[in-house]
Amino acid sequence: MDTVAPRARLDELWAKGREFLGTEYAVLGGAMTWVSERNLVSALSNAGGFGVIACGAMTTDLLDAEIAATAEMTSAPFGVNLITMHPDLEKLIDVCLDQNVGHIILAGGLPGAPAIKRAKGGGAKVVCFAPTLSLAKRVVRQGADALVIEGAEAGGHIGPVATSVLAQEILPHIEDVPVFIAGGIGRGDAVVAYLEMGASGCQLGTLFVCAEESIAHENFKKAFIRASARDAVPSVQLDPQFPVIPVRALQNDATREFQQTQRNMIDSVQRGDMEQNAAQLEIEHYWAGALRRAVVDGDVETGSLMAGQSVGMVKEVRPATTIIENLIDEAVEALAARDRTKASG
């Protein structure tokens, strides 16, 4: 039987991730627009995890103020998630560097080499998302210091491949940088499973929406607590000539309204009233407004309830510290259970 205690073994399994993040636990908070702001981010970092500010469509001034406010609430490391398609991406990177943000996460598309170089040149560590093995290798060659592999079980904008499949495809072939797994993770024993496959840590979003420190509206949290995994479904693309990145969310009127929005835009293009690029941009903008209505205003009927399939494991509102401690307890118990099985065998 392994003589190393389960908690010590857990520390060994994610040592690479902990060192990279500078945290007690290699648990990243997924960047969720309107949710991942100073209160939740600082709470996750103070609890030993790694909070991440969701910049989303923020201006440089708003991001600057949010970083400063977060730094006032925690002395622990935290990062900033920047959308690569943001028109002021370079300026946002500079804001992060000016505020001495140690980790910049580039998401929402493949980052260009100049963005990675700019962030690294300013002293930040760069984390990139990788939807395939070939793209994982590419961003590492371009200078990415770590990767996040996010599967289709995640909430919000998603790719087509399950977390478990991506992990099998990518983890055996990426050894130079830490790799964090995301998508559908809601328990500590699942974290252990991915660590044993070669991951350096995990990223969780949905589980933290109902943290006490989360500013998400009470109605939004109640919708999560009531939901089951099967309620979180991806949006449907109506026309292959109008490609839409699927969005996983709890079904409600907003889900159905999105289908009508697509139809209206497609009809406008076919009538010659709009250019296709403008129509597609309008389709993408739908989600930003709908998400704010749900998270901030509490409109859970016509607002977007973006959620991952792990939403079925969200049962109550709890402090961020309790959520993370429970994850750790589950991970340690999973390792201890294996020890007991070996001993009895």
C-alpha span between 285 and 297 (Å, rounded): 18
Amino acid 3: pLDDT? 60
Token duo for residue 263: 């139809």
Amino acid 85: pLDDT? 87
Q: DSSP H helical segments within 228-319, as ranges?
A: 253-271, 276-295
The string of pLDDT tens digits covering residues 224-276 is: 999 999 999 999 888 887 777 889 999 999 988 888 888 998 899 899 998 88
- Beta-strand relationship, 247-250 and 305-306: antiparallel
Identify the CATH number of the domain defined by range 6-216+314-339.
3.20.20.70
DSSP 173: G
Residue ranges in the chain whose pLDDT is less than 70: 1-3
Amino acid 2: pLDDT? 55
The string of pLDDT tens digits covering residues 273-288 is: 988 888 877 877 788 7
- In sign, the C-alpha dihedral spanning 107, 108, 112, 115 is negative
CA 30, distance to chain mean position in Å, is: 3
Strand, coil or helix: what is 108?
coil
- The domain ranges of the chain are 6-216+314-339, 228-306
Which residues have a Cβ under 8 Å from the Cβ of 319 and sit 6 or more positions away?
A: 43, 47, 211, 212, 213
